[in-house]
Chains A and B, each alone.
Chain A
Amino acid sequence: MGQMRRVLLGLLAYGSVILPMQAQTDAPPQAGPFFLTLHFAGGTGLVALGGGYRVAHQRLEPEVLVGYLPRRLAGHRAAIITLKTSYIPFSPRLGHSRWEVSPVAVGGFINYTTGSQYFLTNNSAGRYRPGYYWWSAAVRMGAFAGPRLTHLGHLSGRYVPKQTLYAELGTNELYLVSALTNRSLKLKEILTLGGGVKGSW
């Protein structure tokens, strides 16, 4: 009987420690849905600022970026407006630390470059017959993949602060068409590198 009491007391004591931890794993406090992004290169300007809203259990990060392309880099100043979505299939935590590493996140983008020299379609330019140029000079579409490193902060208020550092190797549809129609064009030649930080508080 005395042994039974000791076991029950022990279980209770154990439970009082473990239960809050279990509660945490079942419904851990999450990062907020809104995030801000500071992005570099990758065809979206020298630097781009924007933000988005996490959906699908925080596995999808759709966002809008406004990039700046300075005169020194392109002869004319331009803005590049990008709609982009990243998919993070898994983001395991490093042991019991506050760091998460996602070996690969993938995504797609579509962007628009401002400037009168970039026609939306060859018809909108007004100087070509239909089909003269089949692509848009202003709109680029592409895909990318790359790793992410995330730091989770301490709960303060409703959400856990979350900062992510990421890199992306990508390409656009015109580079892809060039590579698909030429054996001598190597994958390395059509890749672009970009990266940035995302944060939510």
Chain B
Amino acid sequence: MLALTGLVGCSLVEYSPNQTHLPTAERGLTTQTLALLQQMPRAATADTVRFVFVGDTQRFYDETEQFVASVNRQRAIDFVFVGGDISDFGLLREFRWVHQRLQQLRVPYLTVVGNHDLVGNGRAIYQSIYGPLNYTFQYGGTKFICLDTNGREYGFGAQVPDVAWLRQQLQDTTGSQRAVVLSHVPPTDEDFDPALIPTYTAALRGCSRLVFHLSGHVHRYTAGQPFRDGVTYLTTYSLAKHRYHIISLWGQRQFRLETVTYGPDA
């Protein structure tokens, strides 16, 4: 009986790999992290915000451990941002395997939902473990706007991303010097709802405080102004690439991008 209780304790009892049910401590991690972040003083000097940006952790558990070890050796990092595809199959255990590794980070981490995270019951699972698919937070004079851009998962249909919500968030930047938009699928990708590209990019173009748009999904670094409208779009590496970015923001729209290589070949 004691052995059985122990087995239940280490969550062997599973009703479905698609279940959303979690221990209380692992529910609503985004809200928990944001509360923690608001109490933290900025790590860098002056008005600089410095954070790690990395993409898809999906089924790269070994690499995620190496990534955590590398980030924990960095100094003056405020937080880590994972640009979606936390899971590969959209199963609860995958999210937990990633969280168990990322919670070893010395700084808080935040996420945005990726297309793999929406497979099967993934949407309900992401909402259970992390929280809303679209959310914003303010930190170090910067408004971070995180949103679901995985249009293909909804069969397109001009619903996702929620451009009206994005426009409203970009207009209301009271109390922030600058804004950053983070999503998984960039608008240059075939998985972004083509019907929403014009309004989405126009909303970004209309915000004078926007520093840039950050995404994952493509598993590699790209940078440019693909819509030739002065808006910079960056994509970052997946965990499999053994590389991540450290982004520093300061002043009006100043930024610096550093690339860190980690793991056995670093």
Residues of A bordering B, CB below 8 Å: 41-46, 69, 72-76, 78, 80, 113, 115, 117-119, 126-128, 133, 135, 137-138, 140, 169, 172, 174-175, 177-178, 181-185, 188-194
Q: For the complex, what is the distance from the CA of A41 to the CA of B156, rounded to whole Å?
A: 36
Contacts of A44 in B (CB 8 A): 15-16
Cα distance A78–B15 in the bound complex, in angstroms? 11
Q: Is B172 an interface residue (CB 8 A)?
A: no
User: Which of A43, A75, A175, A184 is in CB contact (< 8 Å) with B62?
Assistant: A184
Interface size class of B (residues with CB under 8 A): 35 or more
The 8 A CB mask of B116-135 against A (1 = contact, 0 = none) is 00011101110110000000
Does B25 reach chain A (CB closer than 8 Å)? no
Does residue B42 face the partner (Cβ distance < 8 Å to A)?
Answer: no
Q: Is the CB of B16 within 8 A of A178?
A: no
Given A69-B18, A192-B12: 7 more A-B contacts, CB < 8 Å: A69-B19, A73-B16, A115-B121, A117-B121, A135-B89, A174-B17, A193-B13
CB-contacts of B223-263 with A (<8 A):
none
Partner of A140, one of B12, B17, B124: B17
In contact, A137 and B120 (Cβ under 8 angstroms): yes
Known: A74-B19, A117-B120. A192 touches B14 (CB 8 A): yes
In this complex, the member of A69, A78, A80, A193 whose beta carbon has the largest number of chain B beta carbons within 10 angstroms is A193
Contact (Cβ within 8 A) A175 B17: yes
**Within 8 Å of chain A (Cβ to Cβ): is B162?**
no
Residue among A73, A135, A190, A194 having the largest count of chain B Cβ atoms under 10 Å: A73
Residues of B within 8 A of A (CB): 7-8, 10, 12-21, 59-62, 65, 88-91, 93-94, 97, 101, 119-121, 123-125, 127-128, 152-153, 155-156
Q: Is the CB of A45 within 8 A of B15?
A: yes
**A181 to chain B: which residues have CB within 8 Å?**
59
In the assembled complex, which residues on chain B have CB atoms less than 8 Å from the CB atom of A193?
7-8, 12-14
Contact assessment for A74 and B124 in the assembled complex, using a CB-CB cutoff below 8 Å = yes
Residue of A46, A74, A133 touching B20 (CB-CB under 8 A): A74
Measured CA separation A127–B90 after assembly (Å): 17
The answer for the CA separation of A43 and B10 in the assembled complex, in Å, is: 16
CA distance A119 to B8 in the complex (A): 30
- Across the interface, do B62 and A72 meet the contact criterion of CB distance under 8 Å? no
Closest chain B residue, CB of each to CB of A191: B12
Instruction: Return the contact of B89 from the options A117, A174, A184 (Cβ within 8 A).
Output: A174
Q: Are A178 and B15 within 8 A (Cβ)?
A: no
- Residues of B contacting A182 in the complex (Cβ-Cβ under 8 angstroms): 59-62
In whole Å, how far is B129's beta carbon from the nearest beta carbon of chain A?
A: 12
Residues on B with C-beta less than 8 A from A115 are 121
Query: Please, how many angstroms separate the alpha-carbon atoms of A2 and B202 in the complex?
Result: 118
Question: Please, how many angstroms separate the alpha-carbon atoms of A114 and B12 in the complex?
Answer: 23
Q: How far is the CB of A74 from chain B (nearest CB, A)?
A: 5
Chain A residues near B128 (CB, 8 Å)?
A: 75
> Is B10 within 8 A of A188, CB to CB?
yes
On whether the beta carbons of B97 and A185 are closer than 8 Å, the reply is yes
Q: Please tell me which one of the listed residues B10, B15, B20, B101 contacts residue A75 in the complex, with CB atoms under 8 A apart.
A: B20
The distance in angstroms between the C-alpha atoms of A183 and B93, with both chains bound, is: 16
User: Which residues of A have CB within 8 Å of B156?
Assistant: 127
> What is the CB-to-nearest-CB distance from B190 to chain A, in angstroms, rounded to a whole number?
9
Please indicate the chain B residues that have their CB under 8 angstroms from the CB of A169 in the complex. Answer: 12
Contact B62 A80 (CB under 8 A): no
B94: A residues at CB distance < 8 A? 178
Interface centre among A169, A181, A190, A192 (most CB of B within 10 A): A192
Q: B127: which A residues are within 8 A, CB to CB?
A: 75
CA of A184 to CA of B128 in the docked complex: distance in angstroms?
25
Q: 13 A-B Cβ contacts within 8 A?
A: A43-B15, A69-B18, A72-B21, A73-B15, A80-B16, A115-B121, A118-B120, A127-B152, A137-B120, A138-B120, A175-B93, A178-B61, A192-B13
Which residues of the partner chain B approach A185 to less than 8 Å between Cβ atoms? 61, 97
